[in-house]
Chains A and B, each alone.
Chain A
């Protein structure tokens, strides 16, 4: 049976390799690019960038395929696992290791190494000391505060909480304003989101998931416990618990005092409720400022692409400072990966963007490896239990620590 299967797989693979795009002898190359930016605000810019690239490089054609945010990951997985992946693919930061560790992405170390000082957030692109992707558009999270509610809670107009106890006090006072007013917007047990909201608190208390040498998990340390205990108190006493989207809806409605969110919320404010009076600030830790979480979009070349040189050329073009700036202006994005682009006056002049630029410099990405998909799950389940199912935090953290260690023991 196994032979039948491998035979048919091999036969299919052979046939597929015959039909795949080949480097033609006349130097013409056709690149397939899978990407996620389909919003009417940004799609024309993407298309224009491709058109400009094609006119500068008459021997290269780029075909765009749009992916949806909800299901794009599945399509990428299927393509890579059946060896039909496109030449260039946009990957979210937490997806890169899945493909780089399986040898599905082209090793770009030789080409990109010289650039590393020019761009932020290389961590997810690294696997086994090699580079497999190019950072493109990043997104960190900052703290949004409704100034009107701050004032109503008896604070000075420009008050900003500078440490954990001030944050909790502010949220508590806002929460006491009335039935439909909430202090802090806390994420429900929402997959892929909850841990991103907790990790800034975890990190700012200097807690870590793994020990320095990676031999054991420190997820149940005193510092981790203190962070979880604080976060739980914040959620329990002052917050509205809902999904990120609905927390943002409520914030836009002026019902939530403090929320942690990304630059997309600025865009929503701009489009849906430009009159709301807000201030953005770096997320406070026990001291000010604390670190935040950063994720983002990366561009990678598939290992089986026969046009790696052309693909790399295109990636460099799209991620060049000028084109990142073009992208950010069209999409209202605050965190280009290019350090040079981030210096542009656009990020100074646009209200609140400087908060994002500053926060990015303090932001972190968890050390993602091929176990990450399991670790994320373990962390989120632990948070769900401790925050919303009344499990004792210390015990939950300890159980999670054991589970994480079991992963590495296998």
Chain B
């Protein structure tokens, strides 16, 4: 009975959570001439024409590829760098440690619209404008990611590392061989979070690039919002497709949140 209640509750929550997304998907199956009349949601008219259109005309595939490429590189970079930096901030005392910690939070606290003009100038100045580099290099160390890892490592007992250090293990070995496996859940969250943020990022790619060769998916999708009318079916179809890669990344990494730390690993 309790179990049944739990499932009922979960199902209701699930319905609330996915309904707007189902709406998005339903609109993407509308014929282009159908408009967006609300009753149409339940009418049995479906077409995959828009999806066909997205794959065959325009450069959507290219934008997908760009977003995926940038997303993978930035995510990989962040897993490594955020882990390193977060570990350093959590476990080492070094010159300017609190300054560097606060600088992370500082960057997060200033609205993007205020810093994007000087950033745009910097990117131009470095010759990175309209390149992949403009969308990768500034974002390789995500402050939220570092903060996440630092908080996570803070919560882990340091006894295991100390023991390894006593045994003469090098710092890098401790980092990679001991701490990293313990951080799997945090790194999994980090990977999802970074990929997701990057995948949906609009403002920076829009400002820092201009040619179609390096255009990312959110910028490509924004072009469907016309001057006076929104191309709903295309926009919703593109957005539905855009969900798939992140969902796959989520499904892949969430296993690590499940398995996480084996019980005996951090006996104090």
A and B touch in the complex (CB under 8 A): yes
Say how far B243's CB is from chain A's closest CB, in angstroms.
Answer: 21
Contact flags A262-277 to B (C-beta < 8 A → 1, else 0): 1011011001110000
Chain B residue numbers with a CB within 8 Å of A19 are 124, 127
Q: Do the beta carbons of B225 and A69 come within 8 Å of each other?
A: yes
B contact residues around A398 at 8 Å (CB): none
Closest chain A residue to B32, Cβ basis: A271
Most buried by A among B125, B202, B207: B125
Total contacts A to B, CB within 8 angstroms? 77
Taken together as a complex, chains A and B put the C-alpha atoms of A262 and B124 apart, in Å, by: 39
Q: How distant is the Cα of A272 from the Cα of B210 in the complex, in angstroms?
A: 32
Q: CB-CB contacts of B53-64 with A at 8 A, as 1s and 0s?
A: 000011000000
Residue of A nearest to B212 (CB): A66
Cα distance A273–B36 in the bound complex, in angstroms: 11
Q: A19-B127, A66-B212, A264-B227 are in contact. Are A74 and B37 (CB under 8 A)?
A: no
A75 and B207 contacting across the interface, CB-CB below 8 Å: yes
Task: Give CA–CA (A78, B113) in the complex, Å.
Answer: 10
A267 to B228 Cα, complex, angstroms: 11
Q: How far is the CB of B85 from chain A (nearest CB, A)?
A: 27
Q: A40-B57, A74-B207, A252-B35 are in contact. Are A12 and B222 (CB under 8 A)?
A: no
Kindly report which residue of chain A lies nearest to residue B219, judged by CB atoms: A68
Contacts of A16 in B (CB 8 A): 121, 124-125
Q: Which residue of B lies closest to A270 (CB)?
A: B33
Q: Does A81 reach chain B (CB closer than 8 Å)?
A: yes
For B221, give the chain A residue with the smallest CB separation.
A68
Which A residues are in CB contact (< 8 Å) with B37?
Answer: 249, 253
Q: Which residues of B contact A66 (CB under 8 A)?
A: 212, 223
Does B17 sit within 8 A of A, measured CB to CB? Answer: no
B117 touches A264 (CB 8 A): no
**Chain B residues in 8 Å Cβ range of A230:** none
* Binary interface encoding of chain B residues 180-211 relative to chain A, with 1 for a CB under 8 A from any of its CBs, else 0: 00000000000000000000001100110011
Q: Are A273 and B35 in contact (CB-based, < 8 A)?
A: yes
B223: chain A residues at CB < 8 Å are 38, 66, 68
Q: In the complex, A40→B207 CA distance in Å?
A: 22
With both beta carbons as reference points, the residue of chain B lying nearest to A261 in the complex is identified as B228
Is A4 positioned at the interface, with any CB of B under 8 Å from its CB?
A: no
Report whether B58 and A78 are in contact in the complex, using a CB–CB cutoff of 8 Å: no
Contact partners of B34 in chain A: CB under 8 A: 272
Nearest 4 interchain pairs by C-beta = A65-B210, A264-B228, A272-B35, A38-B223
Q: Can you give 17 contacting A-B residue pairs, CB < 8 Å?
A: A12-B125, A16-B124, A19-B124, A19-B127, A38-B223, A39-B226, A40-B58, A65-B211, A68-B222, A69-B225, A78-B116, A78-B117, A78-B207, A84-B121, A249-B35, A252-B35, A264-B228
B-to-A contact residues, CB < 8 Å: 32-37, 57-58, 116-117, 120-122, 124-125, 127, 129, 202-203, 206-207, 210-212, 219, 222-223, 225-231
